[in-house]
Amino acid sequence: MTATLTSIREKARSGEPLSLEDGVALYRHPNLLEVGALANEVRERLHGDRTFFNRNLHINATNVCEASCAFCSFARLQPGDAGAYTMSLEEAWGKLRARIDGGDPITEIHIVNGLHPGLPFDYYTDLLSGLKRIQPGIHLKAFTAVEIFYFAKKFGLSIEEVLQKLRAAGLDSLPGGGAEIFAPRVRKKICDDKCTADEWLEVHRVAHRIGLRSNCTMLYGHIESVEERVDHMLRLRALQDETGGFQTFIPLAFHPDGNALMKLPGPTGVEDLRTYAVARLLLHNIPHLKAYWIMLGVKTAQTALWFGADDLDGTVQEEKIYHMAGAETPQVMRPAEIVRIIVNAGRAPVERDTLYNVLAEGAALTSDKPFRRDVRRSLEVVS
Amino acid sequence: MSSKKIRIAAVSFLNARPITYGLERSCDAANDDRFELSFDLPSRCAERLAAGEIDLGLVPTAAYATSAHELRIVPGIAIAGFGSVRTVLLVGEVPWTEMREIALDGASRSSAMLLQLLCRERGLEPRFREVPHAQVLDAVRGTTGALVIGDAGFAAATRFPHVQDLGAAWHETTGLPFVYAVWAGRPDVVDGEAVARLQASLDDGLAARPLIARAWSEAHGGDPALYESYLTHSIRYRLGAEELSGMAAFFARAHGAGLIPRAIRPRLFEGAAPTSALANRSRGGMEGPRSVDALLADAAAGGRLSPEDAMRVYLEAPALELGAAADQRRQMLHPDGVVTYIIDRNVNYTNVCVTRCKFCNFYRPPTHKTEGYVLSRDELARKFQETVDLGGVQILLQGGLNPNLPLTWYEDLFRWMKASFPLAIHGLSPEEVRYIAEIENMSIRAVVERLIAAGLDSIPGGGAEILDDEIRHAISPLKCTTDTWLEVMRQAHALGLRTTATMVFGFGEEPRHLVGHLEKLRALQDQTAGFTAFICWPFQAEGTRLKLHDDTTAMRYLRIFALSRLYLDNFPGLQVSWPTMGPEVGQVGLRFGGNDFGSAMIEENVVSQAGAVFKLGAADIERYIRAAGFEPRRRNMRYERLAAA
């Protein structure tokens, strides 16, 4: 095993792509911290201590969904089902207005919904254009590849036509959700109604081709094998070699409450950190690795900043998908709190926009009056 | 390491056979290219090592302690005992206390020193006379007893009317294992590969114990079943954290009694440490003999950090390298990959408290009309029975400083508990003990003695917060001072109780306060070896009167935890605090130096009232331990492992 890690280390240092066997060996290596340290080396080579976050808002406009994925606690099959909801456009727009009126400005809205059988295409374009009317500079990161593919089928359009129409209405980039695990064995069991791996990848390929950036994800810790995780990441890496359009990879830990896979325990902390480290090492061509605090928990997300992660996502607010699956994390973190967590981890906070343009860093972030004293002390303590 | 052969001398006693079993076969069979093996008496092994005739010897621990040269110990291998050992016996025609003279077996060093120490600690002053190994039993007559070691003990045990097993006597006094012999040599004589060979030899020998017993019986007579049971149950071959604690306690007590000229502690071979991420660092700029890298590598291998070194490590070491060093140290102390946990219940018998600490959400002052409580016997009985029913083995019994509860209340409670439930009492933090002494106008020692007589098994290390009077005064002005906290623990250890130690951080203290706290614990542990484990956690501020904005994040916890593993080189256990950090970070702590997952807690009032809400059952705890790559085992408070339930 040690010999394997030595050869993997050499490859990682010289920038040579790791193989499926390397990925599996990293997962199986007995020393978590050695794997973590190697991932950290790559992370520091790419980003130094810089750790990114943004100010954002989540809108999950409807949880009515034709698909019945086994891991999902969010979706309701029919509009009338208990707990089912669909926001009116005014309601959805109101979320943004509330943030602006509350003196809590944001730079991004993340929109992910169920596959609602009854909503017209206009609902989605109007949703986007209405948000842009309220705040013209806002970045709209909306609709997973699964939704895009659903729209194409449902409304008789090509993937490119769907994307072009949405872009015309205000779409700026795609979030990375819906990838789950690409292996057909797993997809058949947990999300048989969803688009296939090739269809998911095709949506992102087209998006990248027409100039949209996107993210990518992997849902881990349910029934998939280590080999299937590595295979998933390698398929993402192959598309990235082709297009270069992915910005960030986000491993998503499976949460077991309230869904058909409730009997599974879900991944533990060391498995989360291991997955982050392996991802950082395998996905050498995807610039960023996001520790999504909503689902990892703030404490584990902070720790992941030493296991390859360089991004904590954003301030969020109103997250529904993970909280309906039992996530006990807060619904929102103030920017000062995010900055504090990053500084206390011995890292340098950077506020970014969706496309990783730097909006603020250094003293600009840590000069908040009530906050400064803590950060100074933390800096003394953590170095 | 050159290709020169390592000259080693082992002992020919039965109890050493498993250690050399594998080596003998390879040395005989194929002209071994690493080792040249010979056999001698324990005392002779030490002499030959001192004379430079051999490189590595299976030497008495007393010889290690008195060696003129600095020696190192091969990790993981010892001849040790936990209680009665059957081959280290004081025999005579009269009881121990009436012996005027004791003949010492000339082959022995450790046992002779142990006997002298136990005599002094009991106020006995017999004359000691050394006689050759073969003649020791002939010396027994009248008030002359004899110390018999090795295989002669089997026969001697039934020949004399008065027989005292010294292993049992040591265990009764300290609660610790006793280490009789270890592989020791000069600091550079073995490398990791040689250590692995020695460990493999023992593994072969442990598997072959029935064979060894039969062969011994054929060659020397006697019952093979007796020999096998001796090798399996009486002798412990593992040199783990508890054994190292036992060695440290022996050295400290012997030094205190003037039997060892200088203070010494067990140090392991550094070359034996597994390679780690440390060697692969690519950060430049920190060259020189005492770089942070060097400090980490030294501490990982069992070297002692000075307070100044610890400050540098804490402030400068990258997080994962600090963690990896602590992980490596944990691996040396707990080489079998087991992580323990306990099933117990935290019962807070009263919330009435005079101390009014600013960080506490739990207490009610004695003047409070409605919310103060003292649990009734009925309530206690229900909680205790539920604990027994759920597989619990212990009650963690703590409460406020209640002026209405005299010492007799506790004595009655303990006696009733012991008579009614099969539960250990891990109870009364130093603060409570001190308070009872105060209201009863008694000494701390006298209070602890009475509590032990009533059934107290161990003392929890709570209330330490930060052992610095400046900090203590700011957060809990009415609580006991640093010195008092330490004094209660010192007295408890002297009376044979094992205790834990804690630290709560996040009160705005500086790194020097943290290191100072660890230093005070380590210094006391050097003297008593009575601490079983250390537990730290960040202050849980929610809802308390302390408005702090200190760093209590996961990364600070993990750094402090890893530093503690390295600094507290004489503490066997480090427990993660999942109730405050959550199970995820608690689990990660197992890779930052932790070897114990704490308690599958049934009830805890104090921290949960300040916002910590995590709950885990035994099955969850075992899942977290396994997922971190360890084997879970239940334990009791003395960190003895229990059979799987």
pLDDT digits (tens, 9 = 90+) for A158-167: 999 999 999 9
C-alpha B355/C-alpha B547 separation (Å) is 19
Q: Which is it for the CA torsion A81, A82, A84, A88, positive or negative?
A: positive
Q: Do A268 and B554 touch (CB under 8 A)?
A: no
Out of A176-190, B319-333, B356-370, pick the least confident.
B356-370
> Are B581 and A31 in contact (CB < 8 Å)?
no
- The top-scoring range by mean pLDDT among B28-37, B220-229, B356-365, B403-412 is B403-412
Question: What's the full length of chain A, in residues?
Answer: 383
Q: Report the alpha-carbon distance of residue A303 to residue A347 in Å, rounded.
A: 11
- Please give the helix or strand (H or E) that residue B68 lies within, else none: none
Neighbours of B158 (CB within 10 A): 7
Which CATH architecture does the domain made up of B336-634 adopt? Alpha-Beta Barrel (3.20)
Task: Find which of A158-172, A283-297, B327-341 is predicted with most confidence, using mean pLDDT.
Answer: A158-172
> What is the tens place of the pLDDT at every residue in B336-349?
889 999 988 889 99
* B88-174 CATH choice from 3.30.559.10, 1.10.1740.10, 3.30.428.10, 3.40.190.10: 3.40.190.10
Q: Report the C-alpha gap between B572 and A80 in whole angstroms.
A: 60
Residue A202 — very low, low, confident or very high, per pLDDT cuts 50/70/90?
Answer: very high
pLDDT of the residue at B290: 74
Burial of A226 (0-12, 13-18, 19+ CB in 10 A): middle
Average pLDDT over residues A350-364: 91
How confident is residue B644, by pLDDT bands cut at 50, 70 and 90? low
Highest mean pLDDT among A137-151, B331-345, B597-611: A137-151
Model confidence at A138, pLDDT cuts 50, 70, 90, reads: very high
The pLDDT tens digits of the residues spanning B536-553 come to 999 877 656 666 677 888
**ipTM for the assembly:** 0.83
As a whole number, mean pLDDT of residues B576-584 equals 91
Q: Which residues of B touch A298 (CB under 8 A)?
A: 554
Q: How confident is the model at residue B86 (pLDDT cuts 50, 70, 90)?
A: confident
Nearest CA in chain B to A2: B275
Q: Please list every residue in chain B whose beta carbon sits closer than 8 Å to the beta carbon of residue A374.
A: 549-551
Residues 6+ apart with CB under 8 A from B43: B60, B63, B106, B107, B108, B109
Nearest to B110 by CA among B202, B196, B13, B230: B13
CATH number at residue A116: 3.20.20.70
Question: Which positions in chain A touch B614 (Cβ < 8 Å)?
Answer: none
| Mutation target among A40, A220, A381 for the B interface, most CBs of B within 10 A | A381
Task: Return residue ranges of chain B for CATH 3.20.20.70.
Answer: 336-634
Place B584 in a pLDDT band, splitting at 50, 70 and 90: very high
Tokens of B579: 């109730």
Q: Count up the domains in chain A and report the number.
A: 1
The average confidence (pLDDT) of chain B is 87
Tokens coding B111: 């046992």
pLDDT at B609 over 60: no
- A215-229, B165-179, B434-448: segment of lowest average pLDDT: B165-179
Compute φ and ψ for B374, nearest 5 degrees: -125, 125
Q: Could you tell me the pTM of the whole model? A: 0.80
pLDDT at A378: 32
Q: Tens digit of pLDDT for each residue in A242-269?
A: 999 999 999 999 887 767 777 778 889 9
* Mean pLDDT (chain A, rounded): 89
Query: Which residue of A lies nearest to B282 if distances are taken between CA atoms?
Result: A41
Question: Cα(B531)–Cα(A273) distance, rounded to whole angstroms?
Answer: 32
CB-based contact B632:B597 (threshold 8 Å) = yes
B320 close contact with A: CB closer than 8 A: yes
Amino acid occupying residue B626: R
Gap from B57 CA to chain A (nearest CA, Å)? 31
Q: What is the pLDDT of residues B361-399, one digit of tens each?
A: 788 888 887 888 999 999 999 989 988 888 889 999 999
**Block residue for tokens 């081709």:** A209
Looking at residue A135, its pLDDT comes to: 95
Contacts of A306 in chain B (CB under 8 A): 318-320, 555
Whole-angstrom distance, CA of residue B103 vs CA of residue B61:
20
- CATH 3.40.190.10 domain residues, chain B: 6-78+179-256, 88-174
Q: How confident is the model at residue A82 (pLDDT cuts 50, 70, 90)?
A: confident
Specify the pLDDT at position A104.
82
pLDDT at B2: 45
- CB-side exposure of B625: number of CA atoms within 13 Å? 27
Contact between residue B229 and residue B88 where contact means Cβ atoms under 8 Å apart: no
How far is the C-alpha of A163 from the C-alpha of A125, rounded, in Å? 11
Amino acid at site B461: G
Residue A367: predicted pLDDT: 57
Cβ within 8 Å, pair B555-A302: yes
As given in the structure block, the two tokens for residue B575 are: 């427990």
- Indicate the SS3 state at residue A382: helix
Backbone angles phi, psi at A298, to 5 degrees: -60, -40
Q: What is the CATH number of domain B6-78+179-256?
A: 3.40.190.10
Find the domain containing A286 and state its range.
2-382
Instruction: Identify all chain B residues contacting A268, using CB atoms and an 8 Å cutoff.
Output: 583-584, 587, 623-624, 627-628
What are the tens digits of pLDDT across the range B261-303? 888 878 878 644 433 333 333 333 344 447 899 999 989 987 8
